């Protein structure tokens, strides 16, 4: 059997490794347009800030490892430009080469959205599409005095922190009225006040153009202009589906439609990772969830099914954590705003409390729990200290379809430096008891 995988990121290399482990005699080919496979874009902010010293550390394994240890036929600098029934065409060394496949997997990832404003092509206006952007960003950031980050999603927030750590002045321009707009207003207000200690945060401002001779010199918004030598655009991303859409169906989100075996609308053709849709476990609807852990697991499931075994991907909760300096930030499931948009009648509890015992100085946490009118847990958001472990805990509960009683009665462990006898999660659940008529 010839298996062709287009894209050598997290999903592609996980799938390739799985197929080869289960079917060592099969020919598994991976086509990757850059020089890197198994790369970790999540590490880019830490490379830029200097926490990660060497660029190579952003790749989990190198190409020779996959070739020698796992027997995968990895083609780097190989861009797939056409796919048809049973074949694909890749550009390699300036030539077009044709390869045959029996089963095909799309793992082409996603790419940063453009702003579509005047002079976007200027030198110094950068997008984070791949780890290959990391070195360019770092080199320019080291030379710059003023840097503008456009967009305050988690990538914008992490990049802004990284660049302030280099001693540079950073302005963030965000069109929404709050940073990390996926979070509800109470949580975003705390994040805003933390961020304002380190960056010039401009909310409710829209970029209209860039200015400069050859290089970017200014960002112009509807409210002002900002002098800078480097701009990082982080205003969201699109699934990479240009070649796939010619042969398989896309979903509403624009990503490739898949079932729980990661099969597309065409027999023998699979999709996984950021280019694919999957189920949102909370809403039960197809969704586009471009994050690293779902990408790896979708790749795993695709690999198992391609190898002729059966495994189903249950979907994802969109669980995420990030941070800004010492403030941890996290979310899993739906925010209040997202739940209402989905048509849920909701109840919620927002609390500010200690996440550690009273006699420890450290440990303030702000936490919001959202549930439906029957007490089914829909999501939590948190900011402060001890966020990550609470997001982990609630992720497990949400995965099992838990309700507010489950949140209250789960036996979370107590140890004074990290938790409380009445954990913040339990206190928030108890608040919701009243709204549910539970004594």
Enumerate binding residues for ligand FAD (CB under 6 A).
6-12, 31-34, 41-42, 44, 79-80, 107-109, 128, 130, 155, 240, 243, 273-274, 290-293, 295
C-alpha separations of 25 from 5, 240, 307 in Å: 16, 31, 11
- Residue ranges of alpha helices (H) inside 279-403 are 292-306, 336-341, 387-399
Closest to ligand FAD by CB, 250 or 346: 250
Closest to ligand FAD by CB, 52 or 292: 292
Min separation Cβ 84 and ligand FAD, Å: 14
Closest to ligand FAD by CB, 282 or 432: 282
Closest to ligand FAD by CB, 153 or 386: 153
The H-or-E segment that residue 78 falls in is strand 78-84
Min separation Cβ 316 and ligand FAD, Å: 10
**Whole-number Å distance between alpha carbons of 250 and 243:** 11
65 SS3 class: helix
70 SS3 class: coil
C-alpha separations of 419 from 72, 319, 374, 390 in Å: 46, 21, 28, 10
Closest to ligand FAD by CB, 260 or 353: 260
β-strand partners of 82: 89
β-strand partners of 367: 351, 382
Residue from 246, 245, 212 nearest 229 by CA: 212
Strand 225-227 to strand 218-221: parallel, antiparallel, or no bridges (unpaired)? antiparallel
* Catalytic-residue membership of 42: yes
- Name the catalytic one among 42, 59, 228, 275: 42
Closest to ligand FAD by CB, 7 or 375: 7
Concatenating the DSSP letter of every residue in 127-188 gives E--STHHHHHHHHHHHH-SEEEEE--SHHHHHHHHHHHTTT-EEEEEESSSSSSTTS-HHHH
Give the active site residues. Answer: 42
């Amino acid at each position: 059997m010839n298996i062709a995988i287009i894209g050598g990121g997290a999903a592609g290399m996980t799938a390739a490794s799985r197929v080869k482990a289960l079917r060592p005699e099969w020919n598994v080919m991976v086509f990757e347009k850059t020089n890197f496979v198994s790369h970790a874009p999540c590490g880019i902010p830490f490379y830029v800030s200097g926490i990660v010293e060497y660029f190579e550390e952003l790749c989990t394994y190198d190409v020779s490892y996959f070739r020698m240890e796992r027997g995968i036929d990895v083609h780097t600098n190989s861009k797939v430009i056409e796919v048809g029934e049973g074949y694909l065409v890749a550009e390699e060394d300036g030539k077009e080469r044709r390869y045959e496949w029996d089963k095909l997997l799309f793992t082409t990832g996603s790419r940063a959205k453009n702003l579509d404003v005047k002079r976007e092509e200027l030198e110094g206006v950068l997008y984070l599409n791949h780890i290959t952007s990391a070195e360019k960003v770092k080199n320019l950031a080291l030379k710059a005095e003023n840097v503008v980050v456009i967009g305050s999603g988690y990538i914008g927030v992490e990049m802004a922190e990284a660049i302030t750590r280099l001693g540079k002045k950073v302005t963030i321009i965000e069109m929404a009225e709050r940073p990390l707009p996926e979070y509800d207003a109470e949580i975003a207000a705390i994040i805003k006040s933390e961020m304002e200690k380190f960056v010039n945060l401009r909310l409710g401002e829209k970029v209209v153009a860039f200015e400069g001779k050859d290089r970017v010199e200014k960002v112009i918004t509807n409210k002002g202009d900002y002098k800078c030598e480097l701009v990082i655009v982080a205003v969201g991303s699109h699934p990479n589906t240009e070649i796939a859409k010619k042969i398989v169906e896309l979903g509403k989100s624009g990503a490739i439609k898949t079932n729980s075996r990661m099969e597309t609308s065409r027999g023998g053709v699979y999709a996984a990772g950021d280019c694919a849709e999957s189920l949102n476990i909370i809403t039960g609807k197809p969704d586009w969830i471009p994050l690293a852990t779902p990408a790896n697991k979708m790749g795993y499931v695709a690999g198992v099914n391609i190898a002729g075994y059966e495994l189903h991907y249950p979907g994802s909760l969109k669980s995420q954590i990030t941070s800004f300096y010492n403030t941890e930030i996290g979310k899993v499931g739906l925010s209040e705003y997202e739940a209402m948009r989905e048509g849920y009648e909701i109840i919620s509890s927002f609390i500010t409390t200690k996440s550690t015992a009273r006699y420890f100085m450290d440990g303030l946490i702000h936490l919001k729990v959202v549930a439906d009118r029957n007490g089914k847990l829909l999501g939590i958001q948190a900011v402060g200290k001890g966020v990550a472990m609470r997001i982990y805990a609630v992720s497990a509960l949400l995965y099992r379809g838990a309700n507010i009683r489950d949140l209250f009665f789960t036996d979370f462990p107590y140890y004074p430096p990290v938790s409380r006898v009445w954990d913040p999660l339990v206190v928030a659940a108890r608040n919701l008891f009243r709204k549910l008529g539970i004594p």
